[in-house]
């Protein structure tokens, strides 16, 4: 057994995810080295004490490749050739897995994908708790040794990640639907609206909350997407096909007056969306409060301070309002056990509140 | 001239919008009567002093039909027959306009559609400031008299609504794109995900922020939609066609390796989304702060109290996080003039903050 103080890890690629992996591993007792194709990034990582050296140290038992998907297979192969320890593990964090897993057939390699928010970017935004509570997918294959898998699973559990194991093909099919196709839909809708707005700028004045929600992800950094989309084009193509068929079906139902069919589909979707699990709490333990607020400084503070004073945690928050509206509705997700007590407190402060579920 | 104290209005349909119209008009000096097909609703409106009587009073010069789209034309026709005053105005608030405007050809009728949030429902949620700052579309026709239009426009401006006039056909085409088709897309995506989740429940664990954003509106009350969708099926069908063509095009670009084309489209969409105007402030006057937070009670309060203390108004707020993540990123939209000062204050409190734009 290696004692925690002797554990050595190496991270290749010190962007937000790689640097956060380094920081997180250090909090659980690893000595972490790390490198990046940009020497300036390595220097900053050393300065910020994110890694303690740039070269992989002898005795390294865990290597995390945190580079863009296209470069993972060759880097992993290089590293595996360098690593002598048969017990050492190499993993990666790329968002598309099948091609990588097929290219790197080695008992010591296990593909991975931490589903951590990447709202912020770069080394400076790295956090040592980025993976706490996040879903971390591993994609073991028939070649994967149970011992290696168990050890990697254990390391990630120490970071408080929720580790799930699924085949690489399933992963790619599921993220196509959960992430890649939504991004394409949001972009298509935004481009359709831009075109219409060129002829009729008033359109943007009519684009309210729902439209804003549906197109929000289209605003994300476009440069990371072409790689991901081409890597996963097979699964994406299938999902796009299914969605196009659904939309064509809606058109037919509208043309043929099949009102019941439309109503049923919308009801199914509404129920399914309402059951979409919350995060830390499962959906049946979350309650939703709708609170009418104005846009004055301080309104939000009054609500959140009341929550804090009562030790009520707000798991989710958003403001729903018209495009140019002053005021609107605050939607709060809170622990269901505290919901009515919190509603009463807010009403006591003069707010108009609706409690759902 | 009628003095404000003598202005009499009547509202037909006392749901959230109708009752808010009644409340708002009263704040600007109108005496308001109102009715509803449900006698219990009328009783409650009288009790809550939302209306001062149920029967339309002699001398009424403004009637607002606030019932579902399907019943507006016949109710408006009835009311117009009853109203003797040639200067009286009848308007409505339905979300689809062409059919109504075509059916009610009368110089005294002007179609309308206030784009007010309807997150809450029913009489009890009515507010006298619901239309303050909201976009209120009017759809005058060639038959509309300028004097009538000017007067209605003036009444709505008194409610502090932003009144815009567009032809009914344009309105319907634009809301198809800005509202109706987004709802259908969100529902289709949610249903596709539900189907996949039946075979592989892990999908829902992979459905992070973007998926949640894109399907949020699908959770809305499904019962109001079939009417709206069938009323506006022509414009919706056209928009669905265009979107299906865009998605088919993406598939082709993926199959044929047209990477530049994909990159260009995503970049266009990203730029357009970033320019999507905010609400009270135009986009170039809003700045966005990303603040790393944990899910402890009080974190949100610390941020919003800091804003309140500095008189910085938070125009928009959301939490971006992984599905089961603890902590995440708070996205705040604030007046660009105060953004760096606010960032400094948050950093002083120990938060990690990124300022955009």
pLDDT tens-digit series, residues A155-185:
999 998 888 999 999 999 999 999 999 999 9
User: Can you tell me the distance from the alpha carbon of B252 to that of B259, in angstroms, rounded to the nearest whole number?
Assistant: 11
**Residue with more model confidence, A65 or B316:** A65
Burial A189-222 (b: 16+ CB within 10 A, else e): bbbbbbebbeeeebbbbbbbbbbbbbbbbbbbeb
The average pLDDT across A219-228 equals 82
Q: What pLDDT shows up at residue A308?
A: 86
User: Can you tell me the distance from the alpha carbon of B225 to that of A270, in angstroms, rounded to the nearest whole number?
Assistant: 11
The yes-or-no verdict on residue A135 having pLDDT over 90 is no
Q: How far is A53 from chain B (nearest CA, A)?
A: 25
CB atoms within 10 A of CB A129: 18
Q: What pLDDT shows up at residue B279?
A: 40
- Chain B residues with CB-CB distance to A182 below 8 A: 189, 210-211, 214
User: Can you tell me the distance from the alpha carbon of A242 to that of B246, in angstroms, rounded to the nearest whole number?
Assistant: 14
Interface with chain A: mutation pick from B117, B132, B268, B330, highest number of A CBs within 10 Å: B117
Q: What pLDDT shows up at residue B103?
A: 96
Enumerate the CATH 3.30.70.260 domain ranges in chain B, comma separated: 283-356
Q: A61 in contact with B at a CB cutoff of 8 Å?
A: no
**DSSP reduced 3-state for A125:** helix
Q: What pLDDT shows up at residue B217?
A: 84
- Chain B residues with CB-CB distance to A326 below 8 A: 129, 132-133, 160, 279-280
Residues 201-240 of A with CB under 8 A from B: 202-223, 225-226, 229-230, 233, 236-237, 239-240
Q: How far is A82 from chain B (nearest CA, A)?
A: 34
**Residue with more model confidence, A70 or B61:** B61
**Residue with more model confidence, A207 or A348:** A348
Enumerate the CATH 3.40.50.720 domain ranges in chain B, comma separated: 4-166
Residues 123-162 of A with CB under 8 A from B: 125, 127, 129, 132-135, 137, 160, 162
Q: B258 in contact with A at a CB cutoff of 8 Å?
A: no
Q: What pLDDT shows up at residue B127?
A: 86
Q: What is the pLDDT of residues B63-122, one digit of tens each?
A: 999 998 889 999 999 999 999 999 999 999 999 999 999 999 999 999 999 987 554 567
The average pLDDT across A95-104 equals 95
Interface with chain B: mutation pick from A96, A127, A189, A309, highest number of B CBs within 10 Å: A189
Q: How far is B27 from chain A (nearest CA, A)?
A: 17
3-state percent helix, strand, coil for chain A, nearest multiple of 5: 50, 15, 30
Among B130, B136, B195, B128, CA closest to B164: B136
Specify whether the CB–CB gap between A291 and A353 falls below 8 A: yes
Q: Which residues of chain B have pLDDT under 50?
A: 1-2, 4, 119, 278-283, 322-326
The average pLDDT across A50-57 equals 96
Q: What DSSP character marks residue B34?
A: E
**DSSP reduced 3-state for B63:** strand
* Answer CATH for A283-356 from 3.40.47.10, 3.40.50.150, 3.30.70.260, 3.90.245.10: 3.30.70.260
Count Cα atoms within 13 angstroms, Cβ side, for B342.
Answer: 31
CATH 3.40.50.360 fits B4-166, yes or no: no
From the list A116, A300, A329, which residue is nearest B314 (CB)?
A300
CA of B133: which chain A residue's CA is closest? A325
* Sheet architecture: strand order including A135-139: A31-35, A8-12, A62-65, A89-92, A109-114, A135-139, A162-165
Query: Where would I find the beta strands (DSSP E) of chain B?
Result: 8-12, 31-35, 62-65, 89-92, 109-114, 135-139, 162-165, 286-293, 314-320, 328-335, 353-356
Interface with chain A: mutation pick from B201, B300, B338, highest number of A CBs within 10 Å: B300
The proportion of chain A whose per-residue pLDDT surpasses 70, expressed as a percent, equals: 90
Q: For chain A, give the mean pLDDT.
A: 87
Q: What pLDDT shows up at residue A352?
A: 83
The encoded tokens of residue B249 equal 């095009």
Neighbouring-strand partners of residue A33:
A10
Q: What pLDDT shows up at residue A2?
A: 47
Q: What pLDDT shows up at residue B55?
A: 96
**Residue with more model confidence, A52 or A324:** A52
DSSP string over A142-181: TT--HHHHHHHHHHHHHTT-EEEE--HHHHHHHHIIIIIH
Task: State the Cα torsion A161-A165-A171-A174 to the nearest 10°.
Answer: -80
Homologous superfamily (CATH) of A171-275 is: 6-phosphogluconate dehydrogenase C-terminal like domain (1.10.3660.10)
Q: What pLDDT shows up at residue B324?
A: 36
Give chain A's largest Cα–Cα span.
Answer: 71
Q: What pLDDT shows up at residue B325?
A: 42
Q: What pLDDT shows up at residue A321?
A: 54
Q: What pLDDT shows up at residue B62?
A: 98
Count Cα atoms within 13 angstroms, Cβ side, for B44.
Answer: 16
Q: How far is A108 from chain B (nearest CA, A)?
A: 25
The yes-or-no verdict on residue A17 having pLDDT over 80 is yes
CB atoms within 10 A of CB A356: 12
Phi and psi torsions of A137, nearest 5°: -85, 135
Q: What pLDDT shows up at residue A10?
A: 98
User: Can you tell me the distance from the alpha carbon of A39 to that of B356, in angstroms, rounded to the nearest whole number?
Assistant: 26
Cβ separation A324–B162 shorter than 8 A: yes
Specify whether the CB–CB gap between A226 and A236 falls below 8 A: no
Q: What pLDDT shows up at residue A121?
A: 67
Q: What pLDDT shows up at residue A323?
A: 35
Q: How far is B276 from chain A (nearest CA, A)?
A: 7
Q: What is the pLDDT of residues A111-120, one digit of tens each?
A: 999 987 554 5
Enumerate the CATH 1.10.3660.10 domain ranges in chain A, comma separated: 171-275
The average pLDDT across A225-237 equals 92
User: Can you tell me the distance from the alpha carbon of B236 to that of B96, in angstroms, rounded to the nearest whole number?
Assistant: 11
The yes-or-no verdict on residue A256 having pLDDT over 70 is yes
User: Can you tell me the distance from the alpha carbon of B98 to that of B74, in angstroms, rounded to the nearest whole number?
Assistant: 15
Neighbouring-strand partners of residue B329:
B292, B320
- Chain B residues with CB-CB distance to A346 below 8 A: none
Q: What pLDDT shows up at residue A5?
A: 52
3-state percent helix, strand, coil for chain B, nearest multiple of 5: 50, 15, 30
For residue A15, give every residue at least 6 positions away whose Cβ sits within 8 Å of its Cβ, in sequence order, or none.
Answer: A36, A66, A121, A122, A123
Q: What pLDDT shows up at residue B318?
A: 73
Write the ipTM.
0.75
């Amino acid at each position: 057994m290696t004692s925690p103080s002797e554990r050595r890890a190496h991270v290749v690629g010190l962007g937000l995810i790689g640097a956060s992996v380094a920081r997180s591993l250090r909090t659980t007792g690893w000595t972490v080295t790390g490198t990046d194709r940009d020497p300036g990034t390595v220097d900053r990582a050393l300065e910020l004490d994110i890694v303690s050296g740039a070269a992989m140290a002898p005795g390294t038992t865990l290597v995390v490749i945190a580079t863009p998907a296209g470069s993972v297979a060759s880097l992993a192969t290089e590293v595996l050739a360098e690593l002598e320890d048969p017990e050492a593990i190499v993993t990666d964090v790329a968002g598309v897995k099948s091609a990588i897993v097929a290219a790197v057939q080695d008992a010591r390699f296990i593909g991975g994908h931490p589903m951590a928010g990447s709202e912020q970017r770069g080394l400076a935004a790295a956090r040592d708790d980025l993976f706490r509570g996040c879903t971390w997918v591993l994609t073991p294959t028939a070649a994967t040794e149970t011992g290696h898998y168990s050890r990697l699973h254990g390391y990630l559990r120490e970071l408080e990640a929720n580790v799930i194991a699924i085949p690489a093909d399933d992963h790619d099919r599921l993220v196509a639907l959960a992430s890649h196709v939504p991004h394409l839909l949001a972009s298509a809708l935004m481009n359709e609206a831009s075109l219409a707005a060129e002829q009729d700028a008033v359109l943007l004045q009519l684009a309210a909350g729902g439209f804003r929600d549906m197109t929000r992800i289209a605003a994300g950094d476009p440069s990371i997407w072409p790689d991901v989309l081409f890597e996963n084009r097979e699964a994406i193509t299938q999902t796009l096909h299914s969605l196009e068929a659904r939309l064509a079906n809606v058109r037919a139902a509208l043309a043929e007056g099949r009102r019941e069919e439309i109503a049923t589909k919308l009801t199914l979707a509404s129920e399914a969306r309402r059951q979409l699990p919350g995060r830390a709490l499962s959906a049946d333990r979350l309650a939703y409060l709708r609170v009418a607020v104005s846009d004055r400084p301080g309104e939000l503070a009054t609500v959140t301070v009341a929550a804090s004073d009562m030790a009520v945690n707000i798991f989710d928050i958003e403001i729903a309002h018209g495009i140019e509206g002053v005021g609107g509705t605050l939607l709060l997700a809170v622990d269901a056990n505290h919901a009515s007590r919190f509603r009463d407190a807010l009403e006591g402060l003069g707010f108009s509140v609706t409690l759902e579920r």
